[in-house]
Amino acid sequence: MGSPRYRNGFKVTLQEDLVELPLQWKQAKVIFVNSMSDLFHKNVPSDFIVKVFDTMKRAHWHTFQVLTKRSDRLVSLAPYLPWPENLWMGVSAETPRYFFRVHDLARVPAAVRFLSLEPLLAPMPRLPLRSIDWVIVGGESGPGARRNESAWVQQIQKQCEDREIAFFFKQWGGVHKKAAGRLLNGRTYDEMPTPRLRQKSPVLSLTPVQA
């Protein structure tokens, strides 16, 4: 993409100089740690993961969101990591086939646990929501985007509503995602687990490891 950060494409590349960067930001922010990566990738050294978690603990005025597909490694390393209240931990689950990640997430001592159901590729009538604080749903976008049914999204939204879990609907997706928009039931859903937020602030993207 023309950025020196991606000099190795999508080969795992540690960005050591970014690990402590949030400590320089004095104004409280919400920071999404893994916009183009997975901190728990098998090729990311355990000591590097510890450094990232240590920074999140030290930068207590920020809120950090960490998302992974490698829930097995998350569980194995969880006992050795600090778990400050400003850290939100999430897993991805595109279909019920990946519900094991949700069960793994319930085993870690995160103050806020969230699910990213994006891209949503199948109905989830019995979504395991025990111990979950926040659910994000979105359809796939771009050329060749797979279908996303409104009934699937409404089903998830109703489950969250019944359990008083924050629900965020990101987009319908499709080839022309802007045209499809993000209205559901005639409105937008931007709910967040607000009791954990210190203040409203934009979500920043910080990628200390490319994967």
Is pLDDT above 70 for 14?
A: yes
Give the range among 18-27, 85-94, 107-116, 140-149 with minimum mean pLDDT: 140-149
Question: How far, in Å, CA of 200 to CA of 190, rounded?
Answer: 12
Q: pLDDT band for 195, please (50, 70, 90 cuts).
A: very low
pLDDT at 8: 82
77-134 per-position pLDDT tens digit: 999 999 999 999 999 999 999 999 999 999 999 999 999 999 999 999 999 999 999 9
Residue 198: its pLDDT value, please? Answer: 30
9: left (phi over 0), alpha (psi -120 to 50) or beta: left
- Extract the tokens encoding 161: 């509503």
User: Half-sphere exposure of 38 toward its Cβ, with a 13 Å CA cutoff?
Assistant: 17
C-beta atoms surrounding 143 within 10 Å: 5
Helix H, strand E, coil C: the string for 104-127 is HHCCCCCCEEEEEECCCCCCCCCC
Q: Specify the DSSP class assigned to residue 147.
A: P
Element (H, E) at 135: strand 134-138
Over range 40-58, report the average pLDDT: 97
**What's the CA angle centered on 122, arms 117 and 125, to 5 degrees?**
85
pLDDT band at 74 (very low <50, low <70, confident <90, very high): very high
Task: From 116, 107, 113, select the one nearest 69 (Cα to Cα).
Answer: 116
Task: Tell me the domain boundaries of the chain.
Answer: 4-210
Calculate the CA 34 to chain-centre distance.
8
pLDDT for the residue numbered 175 = 87
Contact status, residue 19 vs residue 52, Cβ threshold 8 Å? yes
**Please, which pLDDT band fits residue 204 given cuts at 50, 70 and 90?**
low
> Which CATH number among 3.20.20, 3.30.160, 1.10.3470, 3.30.750 corresponds to the domain 4-210?
3.20.20
pLDDT of residue 194: 60
- pLDDT tops 70 at residue 19: yes
3-class DSSP state of 91: strand
The amino acid sitting at 209 is V
